[in-house]
Chain A
Amino acid sequence: ETGVTQTPRHLVMGMTNKKSLKCEQHLGHNAMYWYKQSAKKPLELMFVYSLEERVENNSVPSRFSPECPNSSHLFLHLHTLQPEDSALYLCASSLDAGQGPKNIQYFGAGTRLSVL
């Protein structure tokens, strides 16, 4: 148990559906992250939030829309996805998003997404 909880653990959706992934951290951290891990590829950073402000958007298509209503919760809203978006989506949090030991990131177990 890392203190970062992701729901749902598994999600199957059609290309016309709208769904949301949820992440909650109970660690008192100020920074939260979304990563994508496709089959046989390294983890890719998608979004970074620090103190509820988005500080990074790594050229992610607009069909992925993040939301950070407070420092404990992070959402990833999904719409009109493509089959190639099928992947493991991981959430992480850290004390802050700067350099050094305060950026030790703790990961959730991920949401396994399948787009049909």
Chain B
Amino acid sequence: DAKTTQPTSMDCAEGRAANLPCNHSTISGNEYVYWYRQIHSQGPQYIIHGLKNNETNEMASLIITEDRKSSTLILPHATLRDTAVYYCIVLRSYQLTFGKGTKLSVIP
């Protein structure tokens, strides 16, 4: 599996940008990076994905380094409802392999 490394936990003040890093140094050239989040006891929610270029959608932005060995998920204005575990995943074959993720706590 293409292993990813994320910090165990992070705090972010409400209204500020949350920047969640992910290291995926063993990623291959055609493998995508996906980000999901899981709010307590719910199913994971897709956020964004990317291959080489930076991506933005209504939920977040994804910045991928030029060598593709790391990426950062940016929530531009974090709210209390963004408190969740965030998973950075490299899709290999057809399998999403979830690690432990980063627990993001948004603080009032």
- Name A residues whose Cβ lies closer than 8 Å to a Cβ of B: 2, 4, 31, 42-43, 45, 48, 50, 55-56, 88, 90, 92, 97-101, 103-110, 112
Q: Give A102's nearest chain B residue, CB to CB.
A: B94
Contact with A along B17-34 (1 / 0, CB 8 A): 000000000000011101
> Complex: how many Å from CA A90 to CA B98?
13
CB–CB A103/B91 < 8 A:
yes
Main secondary structure of the interface of B (DSSP, over half): loop
CB neighbors of A among B25-68 (8 A): 30-32, 34, 41-46, 49, 51
Check B8 for interface membership: any CB of A closer than 8 A. Answer: no
| Interface contact B97-A45, CB-CB below 8 Å | yes
Contact B46 A105 (CB under 8 A): yes
Contact of A90 among B32, B44, B49, B91 (CB under 8 A): B44
Interface Cβ pair total, 8 Å cutoff:
57
Q: 22 A–B contact pairs at CB < 8 A?
A: A2-B43, A2-B45, A4-B43, A43-B44, A48-B94, A50-B94, A55-B94, A56-B95, A88-B41, A90-B43, A90-B44, A92-B43, A99-B31, A99-B93, A99-B94, A100-B91, A101-B32, A101-B49, A103-B91, A103-B96, A104-B46, A110-B43
Is the pair A45, B43 in contact by a Cβ cutoff of 8 Å?
no
How many of B's residues come within 8 Å of A, CB to CB? 22
Flag if A110 contacts B94 (CB, 8 Å): no
Is B99 on the interface with A (CB-CB < 8 A)?
A: yes
Chain B residues engaging chain A, CB cutoff 8 angstroms: 30-32, 34, 41-46, 49, 51, 91, 93-101
Q: Are A107 and B99 in contact (CB under 8 A)?
A: no
Partner of A99, one of B43, B91, B98: B91
- Provide the bound-state CA to CA distance between A107 and B87, in Å: 14
> How many Å lie between the Cα of A98 and that of B91 in the bound state?
9
Residue from the set A50, A97, A107, A110 with the largest chain B CB neighbour count within 10 Å: A107
